Structure 1
């Protein structure tokens, strides 16, 4: 447990440095590298989806299987958070890191289109492949498995992280049977899978759909395909603030907020997916798909934090499990699309949108029935085993006291 750090004791400690001076705090370096890493993960996925538009139809199905190994990135990152992220900072550190996914999509999709159009499709893979190698080298040098292995960390920041994590991270027995027999856990997992199905379907297939059905060239497809992900990057901030605002004023219970955001988003996404399938005009399809993906931010802001709602001390493990299941659509959806879209016809693409709409609707029904925002009975924190949350909050405030 943290003791009180006075101004004289702390001095110019990294712990006291403002957040914008991230280079003075090693956990923020880790977070920035994670942000860039997820940027690169989705860049490598997006460059395939744009690059295949410039290739022959006989090769693109093989190339898309290269995204399978990316599924390990999310659960692997949770092990890093377990060692680096203090409990009271975990949400914001993880949120910033994962926002790299959306930023990578918005930037790389049009940039890949420009590279493919002006230089040739091989440039798409060479450029982002080199970027990925540079990131790997930087991660290898800068990021250690835990703060105790980092020779550059300030002693007081090391103490702050270890004291914050020590009691809350040790001697926790995860009730694995309860995880997989809990309706609330499966509700969060199903919500994760449902949202990712639509998101990953579009992120891998939208440029091809725009070329086949809407008759855009590769450069136009790259730019316009980025619009839905720009929308979700913006909407995600609004959704999080709105949810906290409702809860802070006790207008609704946590369970009701989660259900309204997740189920409401899925129903809206289902509706706009169906409209896009029926309209099939450039302006109509792009508008509907942008709204469908953008509204997904309300669902994402719900199920990502839902693990913290139902089992705070097990949230990292549960989120790792949920993201593992959530990565499966990135493998399954492109395969199904490859089987269905054989002749590049509009009616074939309509089936893809129908499938996504049905999965959104199923996710809304399942979460509506089994979702919860309350701490589950098997996840209750017993005072003698775990640091009391109020005590931890008080200790954190003292550590930052001037």
Structure 2
């Protein structure tokens, strides 16, 4: 790559894209493999739900510590260690639904390890990527999540059917270890000569150790009291609330609400996630175009794309239960998730606009809210449907599902308004 004069920051962005791709293959893969193994021995739904949700409890615990570790120890090193931990866990832990304690511990470890990944990525990108490339770089990196989810949904059920559930764990571990080798070989900490405008942490010469990165003290009080930070937090919460509702409950809606079998849907069930991949990159390229051509300021660009994405997503969510066909539902969910991904060119990149030196910390704070949204939203949806059944309402009726999709719809509109009022595009933390 060096002989080809390929800019090192492009290598870093491509590797972080592969990183998020592999992470979401793992998340989708565990759900598919464990469900198949648990159903084979008739594990009850309560136990299945506990195992499937354990990951998020570990994940939420390590977001803020992940931001601190990435800033203090170096995002590159923390990213490598976290990948090694979850990959090794997948390789060593057998998939046995009867061994609940071992599975719970394993999922907690994987959740904790992956909780360090996104704060570390934002720390690395804030060091390497210049401001005029931030939107498309972050969008490309995060779009790996959606491509991973789509690939997992399309390919892994067949792997389970042919080779068994345990094979998914081995494939995930192999992908993780392979990425670790690539990251170890091709990644590095930035020097001023790599891209002077990209490095956001000061490089201080040390007589004993040459040169190293010394991050400044974290301004916790300013972060906690900052309205622009809370605007990011609110939108991260809403983004993940809507995403996790559709990821976890859309299959149930197809089965019970529309009386359709997922097995008969073929590749169409992966379209919403593939649409997220496409729209995420469209949003990033569009944002950088508007900023670099000076068509709009950074602040107005972030507000425009965030508002456009979240409002259109809200409308698609609200009309989704009106459709009683699989094609209509796939269309609405694809529009909703696609424009949510477009909105990431607003709030998700804003970490590095307002706090480039502390992007990992701010990302850790906002991603904690995003993970809590998954825990709250998935559980609340289950209670809404149970309440509908208790009221003698069939789950095939519109009234049973309308609040499931309208709640994230209203949250999208509220969050867009908050971001429109309080977000900023310039640096506010030194």
Alignment check: 8 A CA contact 1:41 1:101 kept: no
* C-alpha separation in 2, matches of 1:287 and 1:49: 29
* C-alpha separation in 2, matches of 1:271 and 1:228: 16
In the alignment, structure 1 residue 167 sits paired with structure 2 residue 202? yes
* C-alpha separation in 2, matches of 1:331 and 1:199: 12
* Aligned mate of 2:401, from 349, 352, 363: 349
Count of equivalent residues? 352
Change (3 A) 1:246 1:222: same
Aligned twin of 1:4: none
* C-alpha separation in 2, matches of 1:351 and 1:112: 31
* Aligned mate of 2:418, from 357, 363, 366: 366
In the alignment, structure 1 residue 79 sits paired with structure 2 residue 120? yes
Deviates more, 1:208-217 or 1:228-237: 208-217
Change (3 A) 1:330 1:15: farther
Change (3 A) 1:49 1:282: farther
Query: What's the CA shift for 1:135?
Result: 3.2
Alignment check: 8 A CA contact 1:38 1:98 kept: no
In the alignment, structure 1 residue 38 sits paired with structure 2 residue 26? no
In the alignment, structure 1 residue 129 sits paired with structure 2 residue 198? no
TM-superposition CA deviations, 1:267-297 (whole Å, max 9, x none): 1111111101223332322211111111112
Change (3 A) 1:111 1:210: farther
TM-score when normalising by structure 1? 0.74
Change (3 A) 1:155 1:103: closer
* C-alpha separation in 2, matches of 1:19 and 1:196: 33
Any stretches of 5+ residues in structure 1 without a counterpart? 1-12, 145-151, 382-402
Q: Greater relative contact order (Cα 8 A, min sep 6): structure 1 or 2?
A: 1
Any stretches of 5+ residues in structure 2 without a counterpart? 61-111, 204-212
Give the 5 Å matches for 1:64-75: 64-68=52-56, 69-71=58-60, 72=112, 73-75=114-116
In the alignment, structure 1 residue 62 sits paired with structure 2 residue 106? no
Aligned twin of 1:306: 350
Question: Based on CA coordinates, which of the two structures has the bigger radius of gyration?
Answer: 1
* C-alpha separation in 1, matches of 2:328 and 2:187: 55
Aligned twin of 2:257: 213
Aligned twin of 1:339: 383
TM-superposition CA deviations, 1:336-368 (whole Å, max 9, x none): 222222357033322211221121122112212
Alignment check: 8 A CA contact 1:113 1:221 kept: no
Query: What's the CA shift for 1:370?
Result: 1.4
SS at match of 1:14: coil
* Aligned mate of 1:260, from 270, 291, 304: 304
TM-score when normalising by structure 2? 0.70
RMSD: 3.7
* C-alpha separation in 1, matches of 2:188 and 2:341: 38
Query: What's the CA shift for 1:43?
Result: 2.6
Query: What's the CA shift for 1:176?
Result: 0.5
In the alignment, structure 1 residue 375 sits paired with structure 2 residue 427? yes
